[in-house]
Amino acid sequence: MAHTVADLRAQSLKRIEERLQQAVRDGELGGDTNLLALARFIGPMIQGMSIQARDGASKEDLKAIVELAVEALPFRENKSRKARTVAVQRRVGASVQQPQVRSRSPGR
């Protein structure tokens, strides 16, 4: 199972990096952005939010995390902070959906 989970994380990382490449093409990120490092920053953020949501975090709590994460992203200054936050929230939900992995009960 660990191999499968690692594969799913690698697929997710690839999807994030592909979306960041699109952001460079669209002029939202500079061409000198280290996309792999940025994807490796965003991936755990999404995974952590997924765990928090599963544990009962409210939508407002999760939005607050997104707002803080957006502050760390190297967007170009052509968008307002609020517009960037809304764009990231929309893209995270639409472009990078975390695969569901069911854990097995002990003894199975």
- Higher local confidence (pLDDT), 90 or 104: 90
Q: Looking at residue 12, what is its pLDDT? A: 93
Whether the full predicted model's pTM is greater than 0.85, yes or no, is no
Q: Looking at residue 73, what is its pLDDT? A: 86
When the pLDDT of each residue in the chain is averaged and rounded to a whole number, the result is 80
Q: Which of 31-35, 78-82, 89-93 has the lowest mean pLDDT?
A: 78-82
Note the pLDDT tens digit of each residue in 44-71.
Answer: 999 999 999 999 999 999 999 998 988 8
Q: Collapse the DSSP code of 75 into the 3-class scheme (helix H, G, I; strand E, B; otherwise coil) and give the result.
A: strand
Helix (H) or strand (E) holding 47: helix 35-54
Q: Where are the chain's structural domains?
A: 2-95
- Look at the alpha carbons of 6, 43, 101, 54 in this order and tell me if their dihedral is positive or negative: positive
